[in-house]
Amino acid sequence: MNPYALLETINDPVDLRNLPEEQLGELAKQLREFIIEIVATKEGHLGASLGVVELTIALHYIFNTPDDLLVWDVGHQAYGHKILTGRRDQFHTNRQLNGISGFPKRAESVFDTFGTGHSSTSISSALGMAMASNLQGEKDKQHIAVIGDASIASGMAFEALNHAGVSQANLLIILNDNAIGIDPSVGALKEYLTQVKVDRKLAKNNIIRALNFDYSGPIDGHNLPRLLKELTRLKKKKGPKFLHIITTKGKGLRQAEQDQVRYHAPGKFDKNSGELIPKPQGNLPPKYQDVFGHTIVELAEQNQKIVGITPAMPTGSSLKYMMDKFPERAFDVGIAEQHAVTLAAGMATQGFHVFCNVYSTFLQRAYDQLIHDVALQRIPVIFCLDRAGLVGQDGATHHGVFDLAFLRCIPNLIIFAPRNEIELRNIMYTAQLGLSNPIAIRYPRGRGKNLDWKKPFSKIIIGKGEQLTSGDKIAVISVGTISENVTEAINLLPHDEKIAHYDLRFLAPLDTELLHEIFKKHQVIITLEDGVLKGGMGSAISEFTTEHQYNSQKVISLGVPEQFIEHGTVEELQQIVGIDANSIAKQLERFL
Amino acid sequence: MNPYALLETINDPVDLRNLPEEQLGELAKQLREFIIEIVATKEGHLGASLGVVELTIALHYIFNTPDDLLVWDVGHQAYGHKILTGRRDQFHTNRQLNGISGFPKRAESVFDTFGTGHSSTSISSALGMAMASNLQGEKDKQHIAVIGDASIASGMAFEALNHAGVSQANLLIILNDNAIGIDPSVGALKEYLTQVKVDRKLAKNNIIRALNFDYSGPIDGHNLPRLLKELTRLKKKKGPKFLHIITTKGKGLRQAEQDQVRYHAPGKFDKNSGELIPKPQGNLPPKYQDVFGHTIVELAEQNQKIVGITPAMPTGSSLKYMMDKFPERAFDVGIAEQHAVTLAAGMATQGFHVFCNVYSTFLQRAYDQLIHDVALQRIPVIFCLDRAGLVGQDGATHHGVFDLAFLRCIPNLIIFAPRNEIELRNIMYTAQLGLSNPIAIRYPRGRGKNLDWKKPFSKIIIGKGEQLTSGDKIAVISVGTISENVTEAINLLPHDEKIAHYDLRFLAPLDTELLHEIFKKHQVIITLEDGVLKGGMGSAISEFTTEHQYNSQKVISLGVPEQFIEHGTVEELQQIVGIDANSIAKQLERFL
């Protein structure tokens, strides 16, 4: 018997709305199993989507999507939405090159009203749509933002609530309260919401009501009849409304409910038992995240002044190791990048060596704080920018490719990209010895190449690049771990005596001494980075070239061109932008 | 008789703490008059400092500054603090070149524990200091953040509250509630705080308490004995505390109390009567702000799809004209840049032409939203970036010099800088005709040069630069209003037949056709911008130069070097960085 018989009749929410209400329970069961089956083998974000199966069905059943406009905050939870809105048969291509995106995406479907990926944008965007509908006289249209309890605690969401509460917009905010983001939620609002759940009196006179919303709930978000009834009621109400639902992340898969952090994006697992399928481990080199996580613990054991801060990524960044070992000196501040950076600055003014670990793409959220609160005051905060460069399947919203460009224009800031695990360790060691300026250390997602990475620390001289191989014609200048691709490219070619390879290491301060040496010795200079070309490292070399009038050299810059790069494996994406070993080798060949 | 006899005995808060409490009223009177007297002739921010005279005295009297750490949010209100902490005799140099800064500044005084200028950073930074004290075992030390009701509604402040509420830190947040920022405060929180002021029952069970703070107030912030008593009580309390005080912006100067927006920074006025001293008006060219403000009204009269959004700067940006004329289509969303940008994106998805007016320096607060919510989705929001370039006396925290560099690396984004008022009008006209991409339009603070600026609209071709004058040896490429300085420089020189002047207009997309023409015709290319050199327009030209191997030309880039630029007049600062007419002329002379 086809386990998805009912699900397969739903090719559009219109089909869903033609079902009798009694069948929705069965549909929820099939949708949940379908998600589990596909994600078990194709990987992706599991727990969040399992938690909103009933909500997803209820929303599309009650509201007239896509005319009524629905925004999923972050978008980890939108798999069910994708499956019910015409993408069931493509769902197995989720997050693969040329497949569907792991996040809502406007270009993919009219049901994806707003692309997401970074958190806490849903209320602002849905409010904008609702205000637009008001202006267009579409007074009955509804606009729905589904947001989790971790995301609603972020400043941007508060700004939007503060505005929405005094608007006349037909905005329905649904708080999907499961007490967890990727890691467990933190903060005073979360504590408060926890109280609201058990104290009906508190629920009657709460923060959300204070902000002028028509608050209802909390209700059980897995109780379909209850959800349907409440949404039917809210659909007819004008103005800003707020529904608080309680769900369980990972609902319907025992292990996912029990270990919500691991099952957020568990990799491959057995769809029946839920057991994780162990990856071939063997003796693998470490993840950069773990190099960071173990090294900060090692340093913190010696240096009492070391503190660690992460905005909501303790597991992803591996700061959790320090949180376990030194809970009084390592802090998860929630999805609050702006606060994290200025908090770090405040602590650093009092003599602490603060490691602030933020994903490269999320540092975009704290750009002003980096300029205004840190660099301008020359406060030596140590930024560890995780997931720099192309990140792979998370795609366009998550690539850390802008950092070199947006950091380079900030005065006083040291910018370093370690070539390997050992350099990451050594720059962390160097930074906690005390710097006179803030530093940004960027490194990629995933594993390094060295099994023997736990070497004794040695100090790195700030602003000094390094020559890796020598050659008399072409010089390749790379920055960061993309260096490996150069090494590989050179190995692919004959005449490697003609190719020199330099690791710039520091984008700022620039090692102008080394650059002069490079330009004096070589006819062709090729720059390579896993970041955008405009304004990035190659751009810095172009500036150097024109400033010092190196007119006889040919300068070629390789990196991410002027476009947003979609999802795929890192290797696929590197090929697309031409920074994989083969592409580099081809460039080199032209001049051999 | 010396009207400041008592004030002049206070050279340090220690002197203040030696006064008997009965004398503090007199001190408040003298401090208020001193601020009025100096600001009346030297200009600066008036209203905010007048509103916290009593609070300033009370804080330094009760707390042991600088050991207890005090952070002033934004810093507009810190004049009294500066005067009481050893800077009375320098206060007349406020905001002048080489004088004291108009904002708290760490390099200036040990009492300025954290530099401010942009809003809503005080809670994060003070919490960081408080957590540091905890770690250092300084359990009695107090840490105080003074923040206004407009600033506390910004997302970053909420993030900090959310963290502080669950911390053990000795943090005292003082909400200086005067119902106004630069313009009147907006939003649901403000409405709520207004209710709290009149409803003592509400005060007992409010939002702040919900976030786990020991809340007290609201109390009259001009009642010194009441303030002293309450601060004495709070000084002894551990953990996070929140004091709500009610003050009047401009307190003590009738006109400043009555017209709080105008007297925020009123320019020169009569210290006795409070009357503003009219500036020589005559028939002056318009401010760029007013060109924007009047033009958007003119366009909105014809085009129903035009909407305007500003995060808390209706007066400064002149969007107030549209708010007056079309209140249903123009929105002040409060100090909420992140929300403003994504709200604009949401509205634009529904077919509206949304003008989002943000000061260049404040767009740094919404960098991620610009990349992730706007450019990635190619939503054609129209950004008007006010106060781009060097802004003058507001200094390092306010210069809009990073925008060209941080915008240039974002794919899909059109970047335009009008050369004059007419071009600003025409690009606004062009944008509301409908673009397929978002656009950033940057223009400076202050007046243009054209009296006859209200010309009929004409459409600008996207991506096309312009030749202004021709010459056969040197080409100057400028972008934006700094073009004037080039014209002036050329006029200072003989042999102007050798100097061509081009206005690039669009930093993106680059007019490569024009650039090829320029490079083919000239031996020397000088680029000029009022923004940072690293990554900016000159950098784009360097990239072009190396990419197309223009090896025989000399390329020189003029702009803001790699350092933060302090306060002074725009003219003074242009001289310092070498982009005034004389400096440009000197550069040109070298090649004539």
Q: What is the pLDDT of residues B384-406, one digit of tens each?
A: 999 999 999 999 999 999 999 99
Q: Which residues of B touch A566 (CB under 8 A)?
A: none
Q: Residue A204: pLDDT band by 50, 70, 90 thresholds?
A: confident
d(CA A360, CA B74): 27
Q: Which residues of B touch A549 (CB under 8 A)?
A: 554
Q: What size, in residues, is chain B?
A: 592
Provide the ipTM: 0.98
pLDDT of B281 > 80? The answer is no
Cis peptide before A66 (omega within 30 of 0): yes
Helix then strand then coil, % of chain B, to nearest 5: 40, 15, 40
Supply the DSSP symbol for B147. Answer: E
Residue-level pLDDT at A350: 98
CA atoms A262, A268, A270, A272: torsion sign? positive
What are the distances in angstroms from CA B453 to CA A155, A575, B389, B416, B508? 41, 51, 22, 19, 25
| Chains A & B: contacts with CB separation below 8 Å | 363
Secondary structure element (H or E) that encloses residue A362, with its range: helix A360-363
Q: What size, in residues, is chain A?
A: 592
- Strand-pair category, A241-246 with A214-220: parallel
Q: Residue A139: pLDDT band by 50, 70, 90 thresholds?
A: very high
Q: Which of A365, A419, A425, A442 is catalytic?
A: A365
- Phi–psi pair at A385, nearest 5 degrees: -95, 100
Tens digit of each residue's pLDDT (9 = 90 or more) over B224-276: 999 999 999 999 999 999 999 999 999 999 999 999 999 999 999 999 999 99
d(CA B558, CA B537): 10
Question: Could you identify the residue written with the tokens 């693969």?
Answer: A96
Q: Which residues of A touch B136 (CB under 8 A)?
A: 350
Chain B residue whose CA is closest to A507: B534
Residue-level pLDDT at A202: 78
Long-range contact list for B190-197, CB < 8 A, 24+ apart? B190/B149, B190/B150, B190/B153, B190/B334, B191/A165, B191/A166, B191/A212, B192/A210, B192/A211, B192/A212, B193/B149, B193/B244, B196/B244, B197/B246
d(CA B239, CA B241): 6
Residue-level pLDDT at B282: 81
d(CA A535, CA A542): 10
Please indicate whether, in this complex, the C-beta atoms of A344 and B128 are within 8 angstroms of each other: yes
Cβ distance B183 to B155 under 8 Å?
no
Q: Which residues of B are catalytic?
A: 249, 337, 365
Q: Which of A337, A421, A423, A529 is catalytic?
A: A337
Task: Copy the structure tokens of residue A350.
Answer: 């009092």
d(CA A306, CA A354): 6
CA distance B399 to chain A (A): 11
CA distance A130 to chain B (A): 8
Please indicate whether, in this complex, the C-beta atoms of B153 and A133 are within 8 angstroms of each other: no
Across B439-460, b (16+ Cβ under 10 Å) vs e yields: bbbbbbbeebeeeebeeebeeb
Tens digit of each residue's pLDDT (9 = 90 or more) over B416-432: 999 999 999 999 999 99
Please indicate whether, in this complex, the C-beta atoms of A106 and B210 are within 8 angstroms of each other: no
Nearest CB among A154, A162, A206 relative to B334 is that of A162
Please indicate whether, in this complex, the C-beta atoms of B412 and A166 are within 8 angstroms of each other: no
Residue-level pLDDT at B283: 87
Nearest CB among A159, A538, A541 relative to B155 is that of A159
Please indicate whether, in this complex, the C-beta atoms of A563 and B411 are within 8 angstroms of each other: yes
Q: Which residues of B touch A328 (CB under 8 A)?
A: 135
Q: Residue A280: pLDDT band by 50, 70, 90 thresholds?
A: confident
pLDDT of A203 > 80? The answer is no
pTM (whole model) above 0.90 = yes
Please indicate whether, in this complex, the C-beta atoms of A371 and B402 are within 8 angstroms of each other: yes
What residues form DSSP beta bridges with A70? Answer: A144
- For chain A, the straight-line distance linking the first and the last C-alpha, in angstroms and rounded, comes to 63
What residues form DSSP beta bridges with B475? Answer: B500, B525
pLDDT of A404 > 80? The answer is yes
